[in-house]
Amino acid sequence: MHSLPQAVIFDMDGLMLNTEQLAYSVLTRTVTDLGGDSFPLEVYRKLVGCSAEAVAGILSENMGAAFPVDEILPVWRENYRKTVEECPLPVKPGIFELLEFLEQNHVRRAVATSTALPLTTQKLKKVGLFSHFESFATVDKVPAGKPAPDVYLLALRQLDLSVEHCLALEDSPNGVRAAHAAGLRVVMVPDMIAPTPELEAMAHNILPSLNHVRSWLSE
């Protein structure tokens, strides 16, 4: 086994929870319910890992002036909140095994997410993951969301550790950019977006699943 980090900082949606596809499905349903066409996946991919504030600007820029951003966004968020509350949340394969491995090896665990703390808490408690983490850096606690490094810098302060002792796990381009900007080593586990040469240059490693992350850390 090579030298393990003192802490691993996890993204949440798309990394631990298979919720990006769920959010896209809810958005598509919201748009069609309000009389629009199905929402393009290539635009949704640009939203992945972004803060709520950034989403409005990306929608306006990519969907054109006729797209009713101010009408659709609050309905989408409410529909998504209800879905999270009422429906099962799928977790990514290997998350519990990875956390067990880290716990057995006394590696600390933290979360750094573009989701606000109340919804982060709700999601992680619902799937039985909340108690596996000691701290939660969420977008509502920092000035700027990913790809800015703020949530990762907050996570490092909460852990009281320097970057060289920590590893970040991310699925999205904005998450990789955020962790890299904070000075962290980051492993990308792609979800809805394949790695590009830019991300390959930033990432310490790119692995296909959390099970592969566990195996890699065990080497």
Cis peptide before 147 (omega within 30 of 0): yes
Confirm whether 11 is a catalytic residue.
Answer: yes
Q: Are residues 201 and 138 in the same domain?
A: yes
Measuring CA to CA, how many Å separate 47 from each of 99, 114, 132?
Answer: 28, 11, 28
The pLDDT score that the predictor gives to residue 2 is 64
* 154 neighbors 142 (Cβ within 8 angstroms): yes
207 and 163 share one domain: yes
- 104 with 182, same domain: the answer is yes
Q: How far apart are the first and last CA of the chain?
A: 4
Active site residue 13: yes
Digitized pLDDT (tens) for each residue of the chain, 219 residues in all: 568 999 999 999 999 999 988 999 999 999 999 888 889 999 999 988 887 778 888 999 999 888 899 999 999 999 999 999 999 999 999 999 999 999 999 999 999 999 999 999 999 999 999 999 999 999 999 999 999 999 999 999 999 999 999 999 999 999 999 999 999 999 999 999 999 999 999 999 999 999 999 999 998
The burial of 58, by beta-carbon neighbours within 10 Å (0-12 exposed, 13-18 middle, 19 or more buried), is given as middle
Tell me which of 49, 66, 86 is where a domain ends.
86
Residues 179 and 211 in one domain: yes
Is 185 inside any structural domain? Answer: yes
Pair (210, 107) in one structural domain = yes
Question: Looking at residue 36, what is its pLDDT?
Answer: 83
Catalytic residue among 13, 150, 171, 191: 13
Q: What is the pTM of this model?
A: 0.92
Within a domain: 2: no
* 13 shares its domain with 28: no
Inter-helix orientation angle 52-63/69-86, to 10°: 130
Please answer whether residues 34 and 193 qualify as being in contact, where contact means their C-beta atoms are separated by less than 8 angstroms: no
CA-nearest of 159, 158, 82 to 122 is: 82
CA–CA distance, 117 with 123 (Å, rounded to integer): 10
Per the CB < 8 A criterion, the answer to whether 6 and 161 are in contact is yes
**CATH code of residue 165:** 3.40.50.1000
DSSP, residue by residue, 159-175: HT--GGGEEEEE-SHHH
Question: Of these residues, 11, 150, 171, 191, which one is catalytic?
Answer: 11
Query: If you ran DSSP here, which 8-state letter would residue 136 be given?
Result: E
